[in-house]
């Protein structure tokens, strides 16, 4: 059984790209997709199932016959992703980065980079087909 953690932010396009990549690379009957959203500021008390990007990713995966489980955390995204991956003992972490300049990465950091450097698990980096 494959367990894949999809770290999903609020961007629909990136979430769908992640879901499509998992759908295309893994056997549906032998895969569970763990959809994780980290709330860095959740003053309204939303749940993971209320995030549009999470719902869109779930639709792609469920339509392909992949089992989906929902998870939510609150904190520093990179730390939350790594900790969730460890707690769930997933086989692969799926992340989708956004395009940033080198200066932007230096000033603001990169969750994707922090995850790649902070885990010993394989990381599947997904991008949108139009390169954004």
- Delimit the domains of the chain by residue range: 2-126
Can you give the pTM of this predicted structure?
0.88
Mean pLDDT of 78-97: 96
Q: Which of the residue ranges 45-59, 75-89, 114-128 has the most confident prediction, judged by mean pLDDT?
A: 75-89
Q: What percent of the chain has pLDDT over 70?
A: 83
CA distance 114 to 57: 23
Where does 2-126 sit in CATH, by number?
3.40.50.620
Report pLDDT for 131. 45
CA distance 3 to 124: 13
Collapse the DSSP code of 97 into the 3-class scheme (helix H, G, I; strand E, B; otherwise coil) and give the result: coil
Give 102-127 pLDDT, tens digit per residue.
Answer: 665 554 568 888 999 999 999 999 87
Q: Within 73-129, where are the H helices?
A: 77-88, 102-108, 111-118
């Amino acid at each position: 059984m494959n367990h894949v953690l999809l770290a999903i932010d609020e961007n629909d396009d990136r979430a769908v790209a992640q879901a499509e990549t998992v759908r295309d690379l893994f056997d549906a009957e032998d895969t569970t997709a763990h959809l994780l959203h980290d709330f860095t500021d959740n003053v309204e008390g939303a749940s993971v199932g209320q995030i549009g990007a999470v719902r869109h990713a779930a639709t792609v995966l469920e339509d392909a016959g992949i089992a989906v489980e929902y998870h939510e955390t609150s904190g520093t995204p990179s730390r939350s992703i790594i900790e969730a991956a460890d707690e769930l003992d997933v086989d692969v972490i799926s992340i989708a980065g956004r395009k940033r300049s080198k200066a932007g990465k230096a000033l603001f950091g990169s969750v994707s980079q922090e995850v790649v450097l902070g885990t010993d698990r394989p990381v599947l980096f997904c991008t949108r087909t139009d390169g954004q």
